[in-house]
Amino acid sequence: NGWQLLWLCCGLFPPSGALLRHTQRFLESRPREPLAADCLQRLHGMLRMSPRKLPPHQVEIDAIQQNSTQIFHKVHFPNDTEEIFEVATATKIRDLCHSIANKLMLVSPDGYSLFVKTPDKVVSLKDEDYFFDCLRQITDWSKKAKRVKEGVQQSMPYVVFFMRKLWFNVSPGRDVLADLTFHFPQELPKYLRGYHRCTKEDVINLAGLLFRVKVDTDRSQFVMIPRMLKDLLPTDQLKAASPEDWKKNIIASYNKQAGMTVDEAKVAFLKVISQWPTFGCTFFEVKQTSMPKLPNIIRLAISKQGVMVIDPRNKEELETHPFNRIANWSSGSTYFHMTIGNLIKGNTLLCETSLGYKMDDLLTSYFDMYHNERKATNRRRSEGRRAVERCLPVNNVPSKDCRKATPLAPCPFLLPLQHSTGPEISPVHMPPPVTSLDSFPSHLLWGPAVACLTRGPSPPPTDNIPLYTGGTDRRKLLPALHT
DSSP 8-21: HHHTT-PPPHHHHH
Give me the architecture of the 185-273 domain, per CATH: Up-down Bundle (1.20)
**pLDDT confidence of 435, banded at 50, 70, 90?**
very low
The 10s digit of each residue's pLDDT in 400-427 is: 555 444 444 444 444 444 334 444 434 4
- CB count, 10 Å around CB of 278? 21
**Per-residue DSSP letters for 318-350?**
EEEE-GGGEEEEEE-SSEEEEEES-TTT-EEEE
| String of DSSP letters for 116-170 | EE-SS-EEEPPTTSBHHHHHHHHHHHHHHHTTPPTT-------EEEEEE-S--S-
CA 322 → CA 217, 223, 378, distances in Å?
44, 47, 22
Round to whole Å and give the CA distance between 178 and 161: 15
The whole-angstrom separation of Cα 175 and Cα 195 is 25
CA angle 190, 192, 193 (to 5 degrees): 65
Secondary structure letter of residue 236 according to DSSP: G
pLDDT at 380: 85
Digit-coded pLDDT (tens) for 35-79 = 999 999 999 999 999 999 999 999 999 999 998 989 999 999 999
Q: Categorize the per-residue pLDDT at 120 as very low, low, confident or very high, splitting at 50, 70 and 90.
A: confident
Q: Which of 276, 275, 277, 256 is nearest to 265 (CA)?
A: 256
pLDDT of residue 400: 52
More confident residue, 201 or 420: 201
Distance (Å, whole) CA 244 – CA 87: 53
- Strands, E, within 222-279: which ranges? none
The CATH class for the domain spanning 282-354 reads mainly beta
The predicted pLDDT at position 145 comes to 61
Q: Tens of pLDDT along 265-280? A: 999 999 999 999 999 9
* Cβ pair 71, 154 in contact under 8 A: no
Sign of CA dihedral 179, 182, 184, 186: negative
Domain 282-354 in the same topology as domain 72-164: no
CA distance 353 to 341: 22
CA 391 – CA 405 distance, rounded (Å):
11
Do residues 434 and 402 lie in contact, with contact meaning Cβ atoms separated by under 8 Å?
yes
Which residue type occupies 440? F
What gap in Å lies between CA 25 and CA 478, rounded to an integer?
Answer: 66
Identify which has the larger pLDDT, 449 or 52: 52
Average pLDDT, the chain: 83
Alpha-carbon distance of 276 to 431, in angstroms, equals 46
> How far from 403 is each of 299, 360, 451, CA to CA, in Å?
61, 54, 22
Residues 424 and 446: beta-carbon distance below 8 Å: no
Q: Check residue 286 and give its pLDDT.
A: 97
Average pLDDT over residues 281-295: 95
DSSP 265: H
**How far is Cα 75 from Cα 157, in angstroms, rounded to an integer?**
14
Listed residue (416, 471, 475) closest to 448, CA to CA: 416
- For residue 256, pLDDT beyond 60: yes
Identify the band that residue 481 occupies on the pLDDT scale cut at 50, 70 and 90: very low
Q: Is the pLDDT of residue 257 over 60?
A: yes
Exposed (0-12), middle (13-18) or buried (19+): which is 99, by Cβ within 10 Å?
middle
CATH entry, 72-164, from 3.40.50.300, 3.30.420.10, 3.40.50.460, 3.10.20.90: 3.10.20.90
pLDDT(343) > 50: yes
Domain boundaries, the chain: 2-51, 72-164, 185-273, 282-354, 388-477
3-state SS, residue 255 = helix
More confident residue, 404 or 196: 196
Residue 250's identity, in one-letter code, is I
Asked whether the predicted pLDDT for residue 168 surpasses 60, the reply is yes
How many Cα neighbours within 13 Å face the side chain of 193? Answer: 12
Q: Is the model's pLDDT at 474 over the cut of 80?
A: no
203 Cβ contact list (under 8 Å, min separation 6): 233, 234, 237
Average pLDDT over residues 365-388: 86
Q: Which residues contact residue 364 at a Cβ distance below 8 angstroms, ignoring those fewer than 6 apart?
A: none
